C-alpha cells in the first residue's frame, strides 16, 4: 500500500514542480510589468514636477513678469510639435466655439446678420426659430441687446454673437429699428436651440440633375442630407452632383452614413487602424436611397478627411465620378479627450484606409510649415491652374473594383480634372465682387424694392428679374472716382461683365431665397459644376470613366 502511494507520488512530482514553475513565471512577469508601470508613472510624475519646478522658478526669480498660463501653453505646443499636424490642443475658452459647428447647433435667437455701414442688419430669420416667433423680420436693424448698444465703428460680429447667445430658455431683450419707417420696437426673445446647418443647398439644377452642397460633416449632416435627397428625388432626381469642395471634414459616422446611401451589398466604405487600436471596418449595411443613379462628387484642395473618405469609397467602388482637383490629403483619425480644466486634446489615434487599401495622408516628414505650404506649392507648379501634374508620393499601385489604377499618399486624385478659372483670379476683380460697396448697394436695393421682389421661386427670379442695370449704376455711383475708373475698365471685358452681373444676381437671390437661391444662380458659371453635368449627361463618357 505504501509502495503504491510512493509510486503515485513519483508520478505526480514532476507535474507538481512544473505547475509551481509556471505559476512562478506568471507571477514574475506580472510583478515585472507592475514595477515597470510604477517606474513609468514615477518618471511621468518626475517630468511633471520638473515642468512645475521650472515654471515656479521663472515666476519667482525671472527678471521680468511672465504669464504662467502662456508658459504652459507653449510647453504643450512644444510637445505637440513632434506629432502630426492634426493633433491639436484646444484651450477651455475656445472649446465651445470649436464644438458648435460639429454639434450642429447652439442656444441663441435664430437670426443671421450683416454689418452694413456700422449697423447690424438682420439678413435672415431662421424658420420656426425664437426670433421669428417673437416677430423679428428681415431688414430690421439691431440697435440694442439688453442694455448694450450695438452700433458704431467698434461693433464686431463676435461681440454681437456673444451677446445673443446664452443658456437655453433664458430671455434677452432686443431693440430693433425698422429701416424705412424708423419705428423702434423692443422685443423679449427666449433663447433656444439654433441649428447650424452643414447642408447649405439642395436644389434641382435642371429636370433630372440635383445638386447638394455640404460644407462640413457635423452631428446633423446625415439627417440634413437624407432630407435634401428625399426632397430632390420627389422632384425627379436621376443624377446627383454632390459638392464637397472646401469641406474640411468632421464626423466619420456622418460621412459613412451618406456613403451608405450610394453603395449596396454591404460594401466596405473605409477602415481604420492604429498602433494602439484594432482595425475597425465601416460597411454599407442598409438599402440606400440612391444606389443606381449617376453620381458626381466635386472636390478640391480644401476637401479633407471625411470628405476624402466619402470620395475615396465612391471612387474605389466605381460608383460615380470624382470631379475637380486633388484633395487635401488627410488620412488621420482624431479622438477628442477632455482635460480636467475644461480644455481638450484632439489626438490622432489611427489612419484610415479606402476600400482598395490606400492611405491618402500626405507626408509631414518635412515639418508643419512645409505641410501647410502645400497649397502654395500646388499653385506654383501649375497643378491648380491648368496642369494636372500630380506626382504621387506613394507609388504603390492600388486598384478600384473595376481595376482602374489609383494612388495613395497625397489625397484623392479626381477622375475628371478641372483647373481654377484663372480669368477670375484677379485680386482687383474679386475685390469688386466681395466689396463693401457692392454689399451695401445690394442691401439698399433689396430694402427699397422688397415689396416688388416677389417671385414664385428662384427659377422665376432667374428669368424675370430685370434690375441688374440699376444695381450696377448704383454700385458705380458709390465708388470713389479712381475706383470707378478701374471698375469701368474691368467691366469692359465681356466675360468679366457677365460674371459680375451673375454674382450680383446670385447675392440678391441669397437674400430672397437663402443659400438655395445663391447656388442655383452661381452654379450656372461654375466651371466644375458645369463639367460634372456635361459628363453625367454624356452616358458613354460617364461609363467609360468608371470602367463601365
Confidence of residue 255 (pLDDT cuts 50, 70, 90): very high
Confidence of residue 387 (pLDDT cuts 50, 70, 90): low
pLDDT in tens, 503-513: 999 999 999 99
The CATH class, in words, for 105-195 is: mainly beta
Residue 525 is classified by DSSP as G
Assign 3-state DSSP to the chain and report helix, strand, coil percentages, each to 5.
45, 20, 35
Asked whether the predicted pLDDT for residue 254 surpasses 90, the reply is yes
List the one residue out of 532, 537, 543, 444 whose CA is nearest residue 121.
Answer: 444
Report d(CA 58, CA 56) in Å as an integer.
5
Query: Which of 29-33, 221-225, 303-307, 429-433 is predicted least confidently?
Result: 29-33
Mean per-residue pLDDT over the chain, rounded:
87
pLDDT of residue 471: 97
* Share above pLDDT 90 across residues of the chain, in percent, rounded to a whole number: 62
Asked whether the predicted pLDDT for residue 478 surpasses 90, the reply is yes
Find the mean pLDDT for residues 321-345.
Answer: 92
CB 317 within 8 A of CB 302: no
Half-sphere exposure of 130 (CA within 13 A, CB side): 26
Asked whether the predicted pLDDT for residue 492 surpasses 70, the reply is yes
Could you tell me the three cell numbers for 502?
Answer: 451673375
pLDDT in tens, 274-286: 988 899 999 999 9
List the one residue out of 477, 521, 529 whose CA is nearest residue 501.
Answer: 521
Domain 199-420 has CATH 3.40.50.720: no
Neighbours of 497 (CB within 10 A): 13
Show Cβ contacts of residue 357 under 8 Å, excluding neighbours closer than 6 positions: 398
Helix (H) / strand (E) element for 119: namely strand 119-125
Max CA pair span of the chain = 124
Residue 240 is classified by DSSP as E
Query: DSSP alpha helices (H): ranges in 62-194?
Result: 68-80, 92-103, 130-134, 157-164
Active site residues: 305, 316, 330
Confidence of residue 385 (pLDDT cuts 50, 70, 90): confident
Specify the higher pLDDT residue, 152 or 89.
89
Confidence of residue 4 (pLDDT cuts 50, 70, 90): very low
pLDDT of residue 3: 45
Report d(CA 500, CA 262) in Å as an integer.
37
DSSP string, 25-87: HHHHHHHHHHHHHHHHHHHHHHHHHHHHHHHHHHHHH-SS---HHHHHHHHHHHHHTTS-TT-
Confidence of residue 50 (pLDDT cuts 50, 70, 90): confident
pLDDT of residue 391: 53
pLDDT in tens, 259-306: 999 999 999 999 999 988 899 999 999 999 999 999 999 999 999 999
Could you tell me the three cell numbers for 165?
Answer: 447667445
Find the mean pLDDT for residues 226-235.
Answer: 98
Find the mean pLDDT for residues 5-26.
Answer: 50
- Highest mean predicted confidence (pLDDT) among 81-85, 86-90, 234-238, 406-410: 234-238
Alpha-carbon torsion (376, 381, 384, 389), positive or negative: negative
Confidence of residue 41 (pLDDT cuts 50, 70, 90): very low
* Share above pLDDT 70 across residues of the chain, in percent, rounded to a whole number: 89
pLDDT in tens, 440-463: 999 999 999 988 999 999 999 999
pLDDT of residue 39: 43
Report d(CA 163, CA 147) in Å as an integer.
10
CB 138 within 8 A of CB 125: yes
Asked whether the predicted pLDDT for residue 33 surpasses 60, the reply is no
pLDDT of residue 154: 76
Residues 95-130: b if buried by 16+ CB within 10 A, e if exposed: beeeeebbebbbbbbbbebebbeebbbbbbbbeebb
List the one residue out of 304, 245, 248 whose CA is nearest residue 531.
Answer: 245
CB 505 within 8 A of CB 459: no
CB 287 within 8 A of CB 272: no
Report d(CA 108, CA 168) in Å as an integer.
8
Show Cβ contacts of residue 1 under 8 Å, excluding neighbours closer than 6 positions: none
CB 348 within 8 A of CB 84: yes
Could you tell me the three cell numbers for 514?
Answer: 437663402
pLDDT of residue 34: 46
Find the mean pLDDT for residues 20-31.
Answer: 52
pLDDT of residue 389: 60
pLDDT of residue 45: 46
Asked whether the predicted pLDDT for residue 116 surpasses 70, the reply is yes
User: Could you state, in order of their start, the residue ranges of all structural domains in the chain?
Assistant: 42-82, 105-195, 199-420, 424-532
Query: DSSP alpha helices (H): ranges in 363-467?
Result: 368-372, 374-380, 427-433, 436-449, 458-464
CA angle 126, 129, 133 (to 5 degrees): 115
pLDDT in tens, 313-326: 999 999 999 999 99
pLDDT in tens, 76-103: 888 888 889 999 998 888 888 777 767 7
Asked whether the predicted pLDDT for residue 55 surpasses 90, the reply is no
Report d(CA 548, CA 543) in Å as an integer.
5
Are domains 105-195 and 199-420 of this chain identical in fold? no
Amino acid at each position: 500500500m505504501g509502495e503504491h502511494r510512493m509510486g503515485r507520488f513519483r508520478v505526480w512530482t514532476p507535474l507538481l514542480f512544473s505547475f509551481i514553475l509556471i505559476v512562478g513565471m506568471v507571477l514574475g512577469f506580472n510583478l515585472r510589468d507592475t514595477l515597470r508601470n510604477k517606474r513609468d508613472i514615477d518618471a511621468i510624475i518626475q517630468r511633471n514636477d520638473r515642468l512645475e519646478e521650472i515654471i515656479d522658478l521663472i515666476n519667482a526669480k525671472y527678471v521680468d513678469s511672465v504669464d504662467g498660463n502662456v508658459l504652459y501653453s507653449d510647453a504643450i505646443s512644444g510637445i505637440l510639435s513632434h506629432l502630426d499636424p492634426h493633433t491639436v490642443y484646444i484651450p477651455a475658452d475656445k472649446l465651445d466655439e470649436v464644438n458648435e459647428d460639429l454639434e450642429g447647433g447652439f442656444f441663441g435667437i435664430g437670426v443671421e446678420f450683416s454689418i452694413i455701414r456700422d449697423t447690424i442688419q438682420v439678413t435672415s430669420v431662421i424658420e420656426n426659430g425664437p426670433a421669428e416667433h417673437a416677430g423679428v423680420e428681415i431688414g430690421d436693424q439691431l440697435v440694442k441687446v439688453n442694455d448694450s448698444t450695438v452700433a458704431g465703428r467698434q461693433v464686431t460680429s463676435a461681440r454681437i454673437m456673444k451677446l445673443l447667445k446664452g443658456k437655453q430658455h433664458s430671455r434677452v431683450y432686443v431693440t430693433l429699428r425698422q429701416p424705412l419707417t424708423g419705428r423702434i420696437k423692443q422685443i423679449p426673445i427666449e433663447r433656444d436651440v439654433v441649428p447650424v446647418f452643414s447642408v447649405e443647398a439642395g436644389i434641382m439644377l435642371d429636370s433630372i440633375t440635383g445638386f447638394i452642397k455640404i460644407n462640413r460633416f457635423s452631428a446633423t449632416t446625415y439627417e440634413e442630407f437624407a432630407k435634401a435627397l428625399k426632397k430632390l428625388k420627389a422632384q425627379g432626381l436621376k443624377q446627383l452632383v454632390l459638392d464637397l469642395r472646401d469641406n474640411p471634414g468632421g464626423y466619420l459616422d456622418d460621412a459613412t452614413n451618406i456613403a451608405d446611401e450610394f453603395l449596396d451589398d454591404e460594401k466596405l466604405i473605409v477602415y481604420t487602424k492604429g498602433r494602439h487600436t484594432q482595425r475597425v471596418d465601416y460597411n454599407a449595411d442598409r438599402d440606400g436611397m440612391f444606389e443606381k443613379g449617376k453620381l458626381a462628387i466635386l472636390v478640391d484642395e480644401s476637401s479633407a478627411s471625411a470628405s476624402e473618405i466619402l470620395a475615396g469609397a465612391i471612387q474605389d467602388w466605381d460608383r460615380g465620378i470624382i470631379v475637380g482637383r486633388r484633395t487635401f490629403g488627410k488620412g488621420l483619425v482624431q479622438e477628442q479627450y477632455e482635460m480636467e480644466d475644461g480644455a481638450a486634446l484632439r489626438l490622432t489615434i489611427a489612419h484610415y484606409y479606402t476600400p482598395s487599401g490606400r492611405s491618402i495622408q500626405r507626408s509631414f516628414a518635412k515639418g508643419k510649415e512645409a505641410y501647410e505650404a502645400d497649397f502654395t506649392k500646388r499653385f506654383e507648379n501649375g497643378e491648380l491652374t491648368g496642369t494636372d501634374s500630380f506626382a504621387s508620393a506613394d507609388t504603390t499601385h492600388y486598384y478600384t473594383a473595376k481595376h482602374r489604377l489609383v494612388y495613395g499618399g497625397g489625397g484623392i486624385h479626381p477622375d475628371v480634372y478641372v483647373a481654377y478659372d484663372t480669368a477670375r483670379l484677379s485680386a482687383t476683380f474679386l475685390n469688386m465682387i466681395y466689396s463693401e460697396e457692392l454689399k451695401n448697394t445690394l442691401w439698399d436695393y433689396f430694402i427699397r424694392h422688397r415689396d416688388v421682389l416677389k417671385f414664385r421661386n428662384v427659377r422665376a427670379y432667374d428669368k424675370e428679374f430685370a434690375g441688374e442695370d440699376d444695381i450696377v449704376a448704383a454700385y458705380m455711383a458709390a465708388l470713389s472716382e479712381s475706383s470707378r475708373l478701374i471698375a469701368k475698365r474691368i467691366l469692359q471685358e465681356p466675360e468679366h461683365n457677365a460674371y459680375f452681373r451673375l454674382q450680383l444676381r446670385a447675392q440678391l437671390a441669397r437674400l430672397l431665397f437663402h443659400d438655395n437661391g445663391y447656388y442655383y444662380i452661381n452654379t450656372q458659371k461654375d466651371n466644375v459644376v458645369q463639367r460634372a453635368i456635361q459628363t453625367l449627361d454624356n452616358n458613354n463618357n460617364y461609363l467609360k470613366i468608371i470602367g463601365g
